[in-house]
Amino acid sequence: MPATIEFIGVGLMGHGMAKNLLAKGYDVIALAHRNRAPVDSLLDKGAAEAASPREIGERCDMVILCVTGAPQVEAVVFGADGLLDGLDSGKTLIDCSTGEPGLVERVAAACAERGIGMADAPLARTPIEAEAGTLNTFVGASPEVFEAVEPVLACFCENIFHMGAAGAGTRTKLINNLITMGQAALTAEALCACAATGVDMRKFYDVISAGGGNSGIFQMIVPAILEQGSFEGMKFSLANAAKDPGPPCRLSTAGRPSDLISCIVFIFV
């Protein structure tokens, strides 16, 4: 197994992922951002810290990115003192962010030119599952790179799906968001309709739970509202989903129609 894994993006999702890597015996180097609390927590568990993406690349065998989206990935990888300035042949980059297929392909091509393995492995589920090590991931990578990264992903994922070459994982995640965020939006509208028309919301919950309209997303959202008065049962906001494509939508360098899925997600939400 790799001697050292670097983690860039130890926020809501990344903290739990990095914690599980430490628990499984990996050496972890973290890169701090504005909020030091997650990094300090990992340092207390035995992690080390680096000052820049370039230093990360120089000190590690494998890098995991788990940042907000495509602009952050681009800045970390290609920016001044960036990750590619420090990585060299034989190392591996795993991008667990949800970004743009076109950028994933550009990063993969830049890595290939330097002999660096690259996989895009965006995630599903919430920070709760990240802490528990039970996330889902959709991986785009060559068979050889997938074989290398699968044991690492298994430290914080219980379901790992190899979807094809680099970029396939991100396309899968965007389509996954089309379904899950669509269900979240419809659930919110349905609850508003109940309130507007006088339908008993608890009885409505029983009706949907017993029928074909039931879903995991519905069960995340509605019980928390009914039992706790909380609107945070689903730990992923529509506003956060809308950032994935970013207006205006940008196609991949390959220009495949499937890249328009990101546009569809944005318009639907």
| Catalytic residue ranges | 173
Decide: helix, strand or coil at residue 267: helix
Q: Where are the beta strands (DSSP E) in the chain?
A: 4-8, 27-31, 48-50, 62-65, 92-95, 117-120, 123-124, 135-140, 157-164
**Lookup: tokens for 3:** 């001697």
Using alpha carbons, list the distances in angstroms from residue 92 to 61, 71, 83, 111.
7, 21, 11, 9
Q: What angle do CA 14, 136, 237 make, to 5 degrees?
A: 65
CA angle 143, 83, 9 (to 5 degrees): 85
- Which of 246, 269, 198, 238 shows the shortest CA–CA distance to 74? 246
